Amino acid sequence: MPAHSEAASDNSNISSLHDQALAAYRAGRHDTVHALAAQILTLDGEHTGAMHLEGLLALATGQPEVARHWLERAIQLGPEANLYNTLYAIQLRLGDHDGAVDSLRKG
């Protein structure tokens, strides 16, 4: 198979995995979200959507420091408004009000 076809196949697979992970997150299936996000990150170590999901999952399971790590990493790669909005919520949970205001302004 030509390299171009393999890359297109990988992108399609990653997109499908991300869609499945989003659906699992919405359904509260945390183990599935984590497994799918890990699989995505194995295929593409810079996939900000998977990092965002890992951060949301960490926040939902009471691990705000882990969540902050994931969101800060994702923002370094692709600073998008939705990432800053999630980081804002994490920073509020951690009591970092100045950081939260800064994230809100950036998002």
Whole-model pTM?
Answer: 0.88
Q: What gap in Å lies between CA 2 and CA 66, rounded to an integer?
A: 39
Q: What gap in Å lies between CA 94 and CA 62, rounded to an integer?
A: 11
Render pLDDT for 26-60 as a digit per residue (tens, 0 to 9). Answer: 999 999 999 999 999 999 999 999 999 999 999 99
Query: 67-71 — which CB contacts under 8 Å span 24+ positions?
Result: 68/94
Render pLDDT for 50-101 as a digit per residue (tens, 0 to 9). Answer: 999 999 999 999 999 999 999 999 999 999 999 999 999 999 999 999 999 9
